[in-house]
Structure 1
């Protein structure tokens, strides 16, 4: 979602209801997702005086309007404790807007974040998490440069477990923990590209290996985990919930092994009598997904849909090799007699 959706009366009612219920259940911190900037058509025409109808970021009146808009939106959901802000790959990308005074993409991105933070952190004393990922190393240069311009030490980073997006053959994000700012790791337990829990995602070894690397890094203070994609894809009360269980168990005990996670989760959820049958099935999931939604180590399914050819991103942006040096991916082959 975007924060702007709270202006829709039905959404506002729904969000406030969820916030109230969540607080009553004992959840201490509740945040909503947002993107900035929104699509260009969201903003008044008077501010689009840059080339080709772009926003003039040097116009102080725009930023006055921008901050008041955030005050008004947050006032509609007063129980919220903060925002998670995605500031790249957004509607009207800040780095593509016009400015005479800002000389780099990093400065433009920082201006957007600082303007949101002036309201969220500076005025309202709420939490602000800035969520970042990148399509390339050069984009990471702009993102890291942007963070150097932030005004508030209270801003917390959220970085994906992998660079760009959540592919099983991508390496761990090498930048996570290298930035001198508190950082939480975003895990996609909902497996947007890997079956979304509709195809079983039961590979605790994978989660333990990734989290084991990150938890030892400087500046990493915790994790957040997606649990669904859309509709009925929630992993809760499904076999794929084992990945949430693995994260929790490793956070409590860094010596926990995958076999124990399998045994404990299956016994807890399905009973000990099911263990000899379900454990082999659970352990086959990784090979099944990487053999059906991936081709030679590259994810070739469109967000878990089996429409391989029409989705060009699979063959360009999503290739794991561009993040690996040397660009080798190992594929398990099994032959049937």
Structure 2
């Protein structure tokens, strides 16, 4: 089968390479999925770069490139059809359309625990299903963790991103007000219609001033930052005394400056959010908690949750073009790897 693998961490455009490898056999409790659609997410690229929360487990593959050289496959999510079940597995039967969360989805077949495979109905196209297990769960759980009350406000950096647009829709349903920081005027349109209050191209003092104006000098109750750097620092300064600041992305690649005054005098609660760790905590709460969140996420996606639009589709063999497209400034919609 075809796979996109890498033998060392680095620039995905340089270290990723196509390979023909053996199709994996599902073990006990596992489901094998024939993956046909995969998004190019920032987390996928960070993993290849070696900047993710964990590094790749490079394992020898006798059937792979270099005659057994240790390699790892890229990709954390995708969608397709169940192909086979491992011994004793009570999972979705072969032929079921599913979304799958697993390591190495940038290949044609992937094996995953049955719990990591979510059946999707015909009402959810595979283009959306392949994006179901990362961004929608991130949006839901970020809002759950904030535990804001109706009428509270939240600031979103990278306001036109897929996750921010999802959060804005979900927040409105909870009676929350969103302020969305965007870099370009053309990014305002997708945020209109009450999902967010767009703020033009702010960094530093401009963002803080606009938030103060929009909140009548109070500041927002919480800020969700996907950028870091000066934008993240400005978002932190935009939070009211006693409010929350959550970092969940590093799009700028720069650290968030946290002045001691924010912690000491303003009592700002600063924390981070990493989806794999958050899902582990959710699982420790039991099956009913996991089922509730999963049902909410699937229902929101089926109802047309924004942020699942597709910018372009590229076959696995055209991965270089896909990576270039995913890196374009001002891109709207997700770049998918198909085939």
- TM-score normalized with structure 1 length: 0.25
Comparing both structures, which one devotes a greater share of its residues to strand?
Answer: 2
> RCO (CA 8 Å, sep 6+): is it higher in 1 or 2?
2
TM (normalized to structure 2)?
Answer: 0.25
Q: Which is higher, the Rg of structure 1 or of structure 2?
A: 1
